[in-house]
Amino acid sequence: MGRRNAQRRNIAILDTDDDDNSSVSSSSTNTDRMSVSGTEEVQLDKDSILEQALDALYEKRGATREKALASIIEAFNSNLQHQFVEKKFATLLHQCLSCIKKGSSKEVALASHTIGLLALTVGCGDSSREILEDSVTPISQALKSGSESTKISLLESLAVVTFVGGNEPAETERSMQIMWQLVHPKLGSNVVAVKPSAPVITAVVSAWAFLLTTMDGWNLDPKNWQECISYFSGLLDKDDRTVRIAAGEALALIFEMGNLEKFTTEAKDSSDSLAPEGNKSRDRLMHIHGLKAKILNQVRDLSAEAGGKGSIKKDLNSQRNLFKDVLEFLEYGYSPEVSMKIGGDSLQTSSWSQLIRLNFLKHFLGGGFVKHMQDNELLHEVFGFTPKKKYLQGVEHQMSSSEKRMFRSPNSVLNKARTQYLNKQRMLSKDKNVGHFAVNNGDEEA
C-alpha cells in the first residue's frame, strides 16, 4: 500500500524575517550594520552586562539572583556568548549550581536552564564534560524534592548537558536512569510513592527519548527495554494528551531502533532450544507478540480519536497527526519527513531520532532556537545543517579573536570535540539508513 500523500512532507515554517527573528535586541540589529571593529565594541558592552549579571548571582537576595539569571538566559538566547564563556565558564557554572542548591523554585528553574544553555554554547569537549560531571549530583538531588515546574526544568537541563557532554554510554544511561526513577522509584518498605503529575511524566518521557537518540539500543538490557515498552504502552491509555503524544514518540523511536525485533529474535532462539529455560522464553515470546499487537491497536485508535467534551481541537489534531505518522511507520516503515525553514535555509529530518532531537531542542531553546541554529556549530553538526554565510554590508562576517580560538585553531574546543562527536555519530549512523520494524498483527513466524 502506498503512503499517504499528506505524509510525504510535513512542512514546519519558522518566520525568520529580520523583524521577527528570535529575541535579538536593537543593539544587535545595529551591529549588523557596523564594521567588524564596531561589532567587537558592542560585544564588549554585552560582556559587561553579562559580568554584572554574574556578579549579581553572589547577592543574598533571591529576587536579585532570579533577575540576573533571566538576564543571562536572554543574552544566551540572543547571541552565542563565546567570548564571555571563554573567560567566565567555570564561575557561571558553579554559581548556577549554588542557585540550584539553595534557591527558590523559580531560581532553580532559571539556573538549570542556564546550565543547559551553557553546555550548548561550549559544545562537545572538556568543558561540557565538566558541566555534566559537576551537575549530575546537584540536579539528581534537586529532582527528589523540587516542585513540578522545577522538576521539568531540571529534567530538560540534565538531558541537554548529557547530550552534549556524555561521551560514554554509561554516562548517558546514568542520566536516563535518574529520569526513570521519577516515574518508577525504588522504594523501601516504609516509603509511599508520590504519583507524578502528567506534565512531569511528559517531561521524563521526552527527555528520556531525547537521550535514547544517542544510544545504541542493541547493547542495552532487554529486561529494561521490556519494562520501558510496557510502561509507554500503558501511557497511551492515559487521559492527558501530552502524555500520550510523548509516549507515542518514544515507542516510535524504540521501533525504529529495532529493539522489539531484537527481543522477538532472542526469545524465539531460546524457545527453540531444549534448555530448561525454553518454556520461559516461549512465554516471553508470546508476551512480546501480544505487546506488539496491543501497541498497534492503540496507535490505530489514537490516530482516529474523536474529540470528547472539552477537547481542544489543536491538541486533538496534534495527537491524530502524530499517531497517523506512527501508524504509517509501524505498518509500512515510512518515517515522517519534516522540512523547517530557518532564514533562507531549509533544515530537514527523515527519521524519528532526528525529529525527536529537533523538537526537544526547539522547545528547550524557545526564542533562541533560530539564532542557535544559524550560528551554533554544535547544532550544525547534530543536524547536518549548513546555513548560508552571513554578510555585513556585503563583506563576509569575520570571527572575533575568541571565536577563532574556539573554532579554528588546532587546539580549539570544536576540533578537540570533533573526534568525540564522530564516535557518537557512528552509533547514530542508522538515522540516515534506518531499517524499520513493521508490526503486522502477529503474523511473524513463531
Summarize pLDDT for 238-247 with one digit per residue, the tens.
999 999 999 9
DSSP secondary structure letters along 340-368 = EEETTEEEEE-SHHHHHHHHHHHHHHGGG
Higher pLDDT, 162 or 421: 162
What is d(CA 394, CA 325) in angstroms, rounded to the nearest whole number?
Answer: 44
Q: Among 82, 60, 51, which residue's Cα sits nearest to residue 371?
A: 82
In this structure, what C-alpha cell is assigned to residue 120?
550548548
Residue 321: per-residue pLDDT = 93
Within a domain: 315? no
Q: Apex CA 33: angle with CA 29 and CA 38, to 5°?
A: 95
Within a domain: 409? yes
Within a domain: 338? no
For the ranges 142-151, 239-248, 266-275, 288-297, the maximum mean pLDDT occurs at 239-248
Residue 433: per-residue pLDDT = 40
Residue 1 has pLDDT above 70, yes or no: no
Q: Among 95, 93, 82, 94, which residue's Cα sits nearest to residue 116?
A: 93
Domain that holds residue 402: 398-424
Residue 279: per-residue pLDDT = 60
Average pLDDT over residues 181-191: 69
What is d(CA 107, CA 109) in angstroms, rounded to the nearest whole number?
Answer: 5
Within a domain: 418? yes
CA distances from 61 to 48, 58, 109, 307, 328 (A): 21, 9, 17, 48, 54
Edge to edge, the sheet with strand 345-349 lists 10-13, 338-342, 345-349
Within a domain: 408? yes
Q: In the chain, what percentage of residues exceed pLDDT 90? A: 48
Within a domain: 416? yes
Digit-coded pLDDT (tens) for 109-133: 999 999 999 999 999 888 999 999 9
Q: In the chain, what percentage of residues exceed pLDDT 70? A: 65
Within a domain: 165? no
Q: Is the dihedral of CA 406, 29, 368, 371 positive or negative?
A: negative
- pLDDT-wise least confident of 14-28, 41-55, 389-403: 14-28
Residue 27 has pLDDT above 60, yes or no: no
3-state secondary structure 306-323: CCCCCCCHHHHHHHHHHH
* Number of domains into which the chain is organized: 1
Residue 62 has pLDDT above 90, yes or no: yes
Average pLDDT over residues 50-79: 94
Q: Kindly indicate the confidence band of residue 140, based on its pLDDT and cuts at 50, 70 and 90.
A: very high
Average pLDDT over residues 322-351: 92
Residue 337 has pLDDT above 50, yes or no: yes
- Owner of C-alpha cell 519494562: 227
Residue 3 has pLDDT above 80, yes or no: no
Average pLDDT over residues 261-274: 53
Q: Where are the alpha helices (DSSP H) in 241-338?
A: 241-256, 259-271, 278-303, 313-332
Q: Kindly indicate the confidence band of residue 343, based on its pLDDT and cuts at 50, 70 and 90.
A: confident
Residue 152 has pLDDT above 50, yes or no: yes
Q: Kindly indicate the confidence band of residue 82, based on its pLDDT and cuts at 50, 70 and 90.
A: confident
- Whole-model pTM? 0.77
Q: Kindly indicate the confidence band of residue 39, based on its pLDDT and cuts at 50, 70 and 90.
A: very low
Q: Kindly indicate the confidence band of residue 317, based on its pLDDT and cuts at 50, 70 and 90.
A: confident
